[in-house]
Amino acid sequence: MGEVVLIEKEESKINKDVVELICSVKNYDWGRIGENSQVARLYSLNSGLEKIDGNIPYAEFWMGTHDSGPSFVRSNIESDDEKVGLSSETSNNNKTLKSWISENPHVLGDKVVQKWGTDLPFLFKVLSVSKALSIQAHPDKELAKVLNESNPSDYRDGNHKPEMALAITPFEALCGFITLQELKDVLLNVPEIIELVGSVAAEPLLSAKEEDGEKKTKPLLRSIFTILMSASKDLVSEMVSKMKDRLTAESKVKQLTEKEQLVLRLEKQYPADVGVISAFFFNYVKLNPGEALYLDANEPHAYIFGECVECMATSDNVVRAGLTPKYRDVKTLCSMLTYKQGLPEILHGVPLNQYTKRYTPPFDEFEVDFCLLPEGESVMFPEVEGPSIFLFTTGDGTLHTFSLTSAAEDVIRDGLVLFVPSGTKIVISASSATGLQLYRAGVNKRHFKPRILSYILQLTGDPDSKKMMFLRAFEKHNMENENKEFDKKHGLTWHVLSVTISVPKYMELLFEDFWR
């Protein structure tokens, strides 16, 4: 059995700066219907809404400060309206998390405030996907600002939106462009694409070679993809119908490929849509529960099916071009994409302890922890320099919080969402026979680490020399001294945190964290 944590209670209330959140729900038409949706279950438990409507889709559960789906800080006194769920700022007793943070900026930590101001830099979600989301990409900061200023009704903020999806169930997505060879195979085996774009546009890509490099192949891919996405509705409708008939006939005499089967599924959901045929251009990715993929700005993708936890920079900017009844901005999407080719990186999580894994994308705004805690066991989340949001999805237990000024205890239940301030230690104990499952979103640890690489870059421009100097510097440093200054002869102060693991492993972790 787990170790019992003994602390002094404070009137059985959560630490005064650890606040419970009432979160927002989105009923987009691609969401799962009624009780089949994890989003519906969590929203019902979180809001106190006793009955789930079995006739509407529950697509997204939002935890954060974005104005399009704000979370509210639950007050000590609840009105009857709050007990059946909160959907607007009309409550007299609750204020938005955004406004509460602006009144209490210390909860973010100094380094977070210095970079992002008095707002939460990440947005945390749960998605329940029944049918495909749009073919889309998210703009970088520069483009987001331009889009927001020119078209604020469709692009509601000026921030970028890198994101990560962590599968709860088996999860399907289209993500990034396939390789050059795979693309050639598509052009040779999907005649409807040639009819749409024309042989003149297709021929240069068919003739391209791997040794030509990205400089030559990217413009070719961009050209043919733009022509495809810009084709007339009538021609697209004709070619999608023709492709459907061909694949249906072929399925009676042979096994269709996974991508061909997917395209037929998409056609049922979005008949005569250019997104159906453009799916051939993208990687078809299947995540197992516990696997994650991350997406940088200007990368095309579409979630297809399944349920996931999603975290992103605080933004709701989406540039769409297919598989959607919503506003399409084909010109912007085709011009903004990076046209990188190849499979995305799949994250499996790095164990923090026997119960917890951390998923760390290459973005400063966020990281996600997943914890599966057996009955009777306890786990500690040490204090960090930034804020966190904890989502408890399954099971009951006890939560102990510790800060510089107080300690407290409270009961954990399904659907509980907590905002935890910077500098707060959390100890969680599971009491359910089936254990306890939770997710934590927080600011990426890399934001709080010294940028060692920037020091190296000032000393040499040679890649090999950079690596050698990196290694030699750490070999000479006493790794057991915390925040020790050295190498001042170059006019810089270099801080290195104490380390207790071996030098080779430390080197490996440093490269992983800083060599980006």
What is the pLDDT, as a whole number, of residue 499? 35
What is the pLDDT, as a whole number, of residue 370? 98
What is the pLDDT, as a whole number, of residue 460? 45
Report the C-alpha gap between 37 and 25 in whole angstroms.
12
Extract the tokens encoding 252.
């009676």
What is the pLDDT, as a whole number, of residue 405? 62
Closest of 159, 161, 163 to residue 146, by C-alpha: 159
What is the pLDDT, as a whole number, of residue 215? 86
What is the pLDDT, as a whole number, of residue 211? 87
Report the C-alpha gap between 277 and 260 in whole angstroms.
10
Could you tell me which residues are beta bridge partners of residue 175?
A: 301
Catalytic annotation, residues: 320
Helix (H) or strand (E) holding 143: helix 141-150
What is the pLDDT, as a whole number, of residue 377? 95
Residues found in the chain: 516
Cβ neighbour number for residue 360 with a 10 Å cutoff: 20
Taking the whole predicted model, whether its pTM rises above 0.85 is answered as: no
Question: How far apart, in Å, are the Cα atoms of 22 and each of 127, 268, 426, 494?
Answer: 17, 36, 20, 43
What is the pLDDT, as a whole number, of residue 465? 52
Report the C-alpha gap between 22 and 415 in whole angstroms.
10
Give the pLDDT of the chain (516 residues) as one tens digit per residue: 444 333 233 333 445 578 999 999 999 999 999 999 999 999 999 998 878 999 999 999 999 999 999 999 987 534 444 433 334 333 446 899 999 999 999 999 999 999 999 999 999 999 999 999 999 999 999 999 999 999 999 998 999 999 999 999 999 999 999 999 999 999 999 999 999 999 999 999 999 998 888 888 999 999 999 999 999 999 999 999 999 999 999 999 999 999 999 999 999 999 999 999 999 999 999 999 999 999 999 999 999 999 999 999 999 899 999 999 999 999 999 999 999 999 999 999 999 999 999 999 999 999 999 999 999 999 999 999 999 999 999 999 999 987 666 667 888 999 999 999 999 999 999 999 999 999 999 999 988 875 544 444 444 445 455 454 554 454 444 333 333 333 333 333 333 333 333 334 434 444 444 433
Closest of 73, 66, 67, 13 to residue 408, by C-alpha: 13
